[in-house]
Amino acid sequence: MTGGSDTLLGVATAAAPLGALMGLLHGIADPVRLGLVRCLAEREEATAAELSGQCQASGPTIRRHLEALVASGVVAETAGVTDGVTPGRPAARFSLSPEARESLASLFGSSAAR
């Protein structure tokens, strides 16, 4: 990261007030949220059920944390697409926001930029 214009999820890293940066980091510091971010960094997208299996937490817990990550802009939610055969509402898909993926790549190396 160079200069004062680089951002970490929309927060300028070099010029950002410490409180804003700490608030952002606090949002993903929860062990479940950190696990979700790690899982999503390893793949393009996943459903809440797929993440629940990988993060070893209950569905409602995963969903609650995903909602918080979506609200904070770290994770993007995309409506599921029906296949025309399977009944019911298709599962929503979750992925890291482009900003989060870019920030993770710059902080932890290119492996997060998949």
Span 7-34, pLDDT tens digits: 445 444 444 445 544 555 666 788 899 8
Average pLDDT over residues 74-93: 86
More confident residue, 80 or 66: 66
Tell me whether strands 11-12 and 75-78 are parallel, antiparallel or unpaired: unpaired
Question: In angstroms, how far is CA 66 from the centroid of its own chain?
Answer: 8
> Residue 40: which CATH number?
1.10.10.10
**Has residue 39 been placed in a domain?**
yes
- Chain segment 47-69, per-residue pLDDT in tens: 999 999 888 889 999 999 999 99
Angle at 109 between CA 104 and CA 114, to 5 degrees: 70
The share of the chain scoring above pLDDT 70, in percent, equals 68
Global confidence as pTM? 0.70
**Has residue 23 been placed in a domain?**
no
What sign for the dihedral angle of Cα 106, 9, 58, 40?
Answer: negative
Q: Which residue segment(s) compose the domain that 69 sits in?
A: 32-113
